Amino acid sequence: MSQTVESKQTNNQVNEQYKEVYAYTQQILDLIAKDEITKDEAAWVTRETVENFRDHVNPGFLGYRKSVTKDGQFAAVEWKDAGPNSFMDVNGKVYIDCLGGFGIYNVGHRHPKVVEAVINQLNRQPLHSQDLLDPLRAMLAKILADVTPGDLKYAYFANSGTETVEAAIKLAKMHTGRTTFIATTKAFHGKSLGSLSATAKGVFRKPFLPMIPGFRHVHFGDIDMLRKTFEACALVGEEIAGVILEPIQGEGGVNLPPEGYLKEVRALCDQYGALLILDEVQTGMGRTGKMFCCEHYDVTPDILCLAKAFGGGIMPAGAVVATEEVFKSFFPNPFVQTTTFGGNPLACAAAIATFNVLIEENLLERCVELGEYMLNGLREAAAAHTDKVHEVRGKGLLIGIEFHNDEIGYEVSKGLFDNGVLVAGTLINAKTIRIEPPLTITYEEADQVIETFKKVLPLVKI
């Protein structure tokens, strides 16, 4: 038998082996290519999604997703965007997005300029060779040096927030030669092992103990406790490599720092030779009305972490930006901290376009105006329900509504969802739901969110 005949027989066997997988993939690709799908197709998508989450992803997610209707039928499976500030489920219901993928849609869903930049780069070269110099990485690094505060100058690129925190921890260790870090209670910095060591939620940490050694936690906003921790560590010979915190805690419940707190943290770091690492994965890229939240407090970190909205809601992207003095620890061997896809051409194109849009459309100013408008409206709505609402707080379009217990927060969140507004609780503080819409949200949509909140709140029983 000739080699050609043997090869064809082998190929036929392989094709037969994967026949069902091929048909399934083709069915999915055909659906993706459609502008609209039929009711039967929508029902198939819903069924496949629920069954595959249960059988192949994680059945635990089904209890947490807002996909269970009042009669217990799984119905809300998202399918496509419906304008810059909304999305549509597979059955055609539209929701105003006040979750924003945990803050990724700062410039809106599928902003045409970001999409165009990614498509143009996709048509040219989607990924780089890894050996030659890639131009967009260099250009994006310069942009970051230009827009970040103080003397932040060099950038390392990653794919997600937790990766940026991991890189920041490694950079701080390498620069200082120290291994002890101070983080804060109610902090969220990610779930990979290094960043999880800084994260403050026991439910996330306990199954994976021991964490990376050397992490201490102090109360967010308590400068005296931080000072005493520095002093205690110095007494026992544990010099601090860095203090890592969020300028405003996102997953902790949208917790704003006390007046002067960040400046005092900066001063303590300088006093003890520690680095200040600011995690702006959620607060950066205009979310609070400044390009970076630390600018509100006139504080510059030694290391700044970015992700989420950095990719324009189109590409996963993250960055660590540091001063030359700190970053030069990576100079002798640039391969000591690398990632295959971090800083890839598509992600860099998206990030470059995102900065362009933020500036061109004055989204920072818009964030301040819409943020004040929504904050005032939500506070007014909550004023008549102090038995349910503890506080409405925030800065820019990062707003938290804290209730007196978790159950009230869940019922309000579910009621908003049933009425076409998507929100979610914060991961560390379940009593608080976040209002985190795109910075492009309109006044009409903001009014709809506020009115829906007014409608739902009286219906919640306590």
Query: Which active-site residues does the annotation give?
Result: 188, 279, 308
Would you mind telling me the total number of residues written for the chain in this entry?
462
Residue 161 · residue 281 · CB < 8 Å: yes
Helical axes 363-382 vs 345-360, angle rounded to 10°:
70
Cβ atoms < 10 Å from Cβ of 75: 18
Q: Distance (Å, rounded) from C-alpha 451 to C-alpha 446? A: 9
Q: Distance (Å, rounded) from C-alpha 21 to C-alpha 265? A: 56
Q: Distance (Å, rounded) from C-alpha 335 to C-alpha 156? A: 11
Sheet with 275-279: strands ordered across: 152-158, 318-323, 303-306, 275-279, 240-245, 180-184, 215-218
Place of tokens 């209670």: 185
Q: Distance (Å, rounded) from C-alpha 57 to C-alpha 51? A: 9
The alpha carbon torsion through 269, 284, 187, 85 (nearest 10 deg) reads 170
Sheet with 78-81: strands ordered across: 78-81, 86-89, 94-97, 421-422
Cβ atoms < 10 Å from Cβ of 19: 10
In sequence order, the 6+-apart residues with CB closer than 8 A to the CB of 415 are: 456, 459, 460
Q: Distance (Å, rounded) from C-alpha 39 to C-alpha 31? A: 12
Closest CA to 402 of 392, 413, 412: 392
Beta-sheet strands, E only, within 396-446? 398-403, 421-422, 424-425, 432-435
